[in-house]
Amino acid sequence: MYLRRPVLNLLVVRNRLFECFYARSVSKNNTSLIGDEKSQLKSWQEIPGPPTLPMVGQLLNYLPGGIFYKKKEEWPEIMYKNYGPIVRLGGTFGLPPMIFLYEPEAAFHIFRNENWTPVRPGFQSLEYFRKHYKKKKDDSLHETTGLMTEHGEEWRKFRTTVNQVMLQPKTIKLYSDTLIVVADDMIKRMRLKRNEKNMLEGKFDTEINLWALEAIGVVALGDRLNCFDPNLPKDSPVKKLIQVVRDVLTVSEKLDFQPSLWRYIATPTFKKAMKFYGDQMKLNEYFINKSIEKLKVKDKTNEQEGVLEKLLEIDHKIAVIMASEMLFAGVDTTANTIIGALYLLAKNPEKQNKLREENLLKQEKKPYLRACIKETIRLLPVIGGNFRQTTKEYNVMGYKIPKGMFVIVANQYMCLMEENFPQPTEFIPERWIVDKSDPLYYGNTHPFVYSPFGFGVRSCIGRRIAELEMETFLEKLIENFEIEWFGPPMKTRATSINYLIGPYNFIFKDVK
């Protein structure tokens, strides 16, 4: 047995300290409050929320009589309905207390006022692996570990370096043609995999993940992974890579987003996680090294440099880490959004037809296609809410939120509130393109309600890549197939990201 003391434990201790000493200043529009103003603020512990008991934490809330017991609704909805727009969830087993916000302006106040190195917690077990576990085994390791797991100055340096390459629209556009070929290849594979009922044989989500990996592989590695090869053996590196991305997200959910003792003892899930993280790292290195070798012999006269080449010129280690981050963050995210879009378009055939009509026009701008993706992400977001650990104190809705507190914005739930989006549960892509005078106009809602790629300097670095990949593939899918759905509604499973889970009752008929 050994004791680990990562960020989270320090936080718990720090938060306990706040329980004893009230904070010196609060930031409202970045000003300190003094005297009476300060005394009027309530402590964060007074924020309403479900009861938390020592040792058992939230457990009682899930037992008969508890607010989460046998409820049909998702817990963000239950919390909002029971406690209102700001809710405190007590800490349990190393998980720190968290504040949930359902008030966009309050959330915006915090996110906007964060400093130049905002902290987004999450993936602490991966952070532990990268910074401590792996380091023990490999002392040659350099300090930086990547965007998902770095904070502070280390994160800022890394992000500034990769921004100049990854946020360049010109560089991203370079992949347009290859992504069309990837989409065409996937359509061919889907045709081959269709059975007599026009359904895809095999696991549908794995199939879409193959597309997502192939697509992000093109950007991360500058080369085709050949995920669609029908002769890929089960134990091929590509198949292993897909599986390990999923395994990693599953264990990380258990360790980082649910109460767990891994911070104190090496639990079985912790041991599994360290193995998965190690496997994933080795597989990434295998593919990246292969690409680097290919680049060495590439004829560079005609072609413009892509992301990997540009990053390799700046810093070899950063290039390798960034490619790994893309393979980690860029698979399940886009795959689930595509599954969501297919489902919503299948359930709304008139919208599907409208999208197909736009496709037929073959115009450069495709507002309806983009609107369909936006609306999919509103209804079925892959990430349920934005997350920060405050780097200063805040006065939010009359409460004093100390520095170091975990704050989660309930974006997914806010997007389903009538006051934010009229007819909130309906798939209406039109709301993203109609005129200001239309009551459906998306701009009538607070901009922080819908913020699926995060906020500010820490927002998703892969956004433009993801959008290009998804637009290209969805366009091809609609061009080739009439998509139908039968049976009960698609189910979702919320882990560190939201998964759309089977059975996947899709029918893919040829477009006549």
CB burial of residue 427 (10 Å; 0-12, 13-18, 19+): buried
| 8 Å CB contact between 94 and 7 | no
Residue from 67, 106, 110, 466 that binds ligand HEM (CB under 6 A)? 466
CA–CA distance, 217 with 298 (Å, rounded to integer)? 18
Does residue 283 interact with ligand HEM by CB under 6 A? no
Choose which of 106, 147, 186, 292 interacts with ligand HEM (CB under 6 A).
Answer: 147
> Least distance to ligand HEM from the beta carbon of 335, Å?
9
Contact flag: residue 107 with ligand HEM (CB under 6 A): no
CA distances to 261, 411, 417, 441, 471 from 423, rounded to whole Å, are 43, 17, 9, 12, 25
452 binds ligand HEM (CB under 6 A): yes
Residue 263 binding ligand HEM, by CB under 6 A: no
Pairing mode of beta strands 86-89, 98-101:
antiparallel
* Cβ–Cβ < 8 Å for 8, 95: yes
Interface pattern 398-417 for ligand HEM (x via CB under 6 A): --------------------
CB of 37 to ligand HEM, least distance (A): 31
User: Which two structure tokens, joined as six digits, stand for 349?
Assistant: 């055939």
Among residues 244, 188, 233, the alpha carbon closest in space to that of 211 is found at: 188
Angle between helices 152-166 and 307-314 (to 10 degrees): 130
Indicate the residue among 243 and 459 with the shorter CB distance to ligand HEM.
459
Give me the least distance between CB of 262 and ligand HEM, in Å please.
23
Identify which of 424, 440, 427 has the alpha carbon closest to the alpha carbon of residue 348.
Answer: 427
**Both structure tokens of 456:** 């500010």
Per CB under 6 A, 498 contacts ligand HEM: no
Q: Which tokens hold the place of 351?
A: 């919208």
Residue whose structure tokens are 């061919």: 188
Q: Which of 93, 116, 441, 453 binds ligand HEM (CB under 6 A)?
A: 453
Applying CB under 6 A, among 384, 404, 429, 462 the residue interacting with ligand HEM is 462
Sole residue written with tokens 């912790």: 270
CA distance 384 to 410: 7
The residue count for binding ligand HEM (CB under 6 A) is 26
List 200, 251, 326, 410, residue binding ligand HEM (CB under 6 A):
326
Query: With respect to ligand HEM, which residue has the nearer C-beta, 295 or 457?
Result: 457
Binding range to ligand HEM, per CB under 6 A, among 9-17, 169-177, 240-248, 380-388: 380-388
Q: Could you say whether residue 465 binds ligand HEM (CB under 6 A)? A: yes
| Residue 148 touches ligand HEM, criterion: CB under 6 A | yes
Residue 383 lies near ligand HEM (rule: CB under 6 A): yes
Note whether 213 binds ligand HEM by CB under 6 A: no
HSE, side-chain direction, 13 A CA sphere, residue 114: 26
Angle 215-216-217 from CA coordinates, rounded to 5° = 90
Check residue 198 and report its DSSP letter: S
Closest to ligand HEM by CB, 7 or 147:
147
Does position 330 interact with ligand HEM (CB under 6 A)? The reply is: yes
Does residue 461 belong to the site contacting ligand HEM (CB under 6 A)? yes
Say whether 460 counts as a known binding-site residue. yes
**Residue 458 in contact with ligand HEM, rule: CB under 6 A:** yes
Does residue 337 touch ligand HEM according to CB under 6 A?
Answer: yes
* Given 23, 89, 101, 216, the residue binding ligand HEM (CB under 6 A): 216
Helix H, strand E, coil C: the string for 105-145 is: HHHHHHHHHCCCCCECCCCHHHHHHHHHHHHHHCCCCCCCC
The binding site for heme comprises 460
The binding site consists of 460
* Footprint of ligand HEM (CB under 6 A): 120, 147-148, 159, 216, 325-326, 329-330, 333-334, 337, 382-383, 386, 452-455, 458-462, 465-466
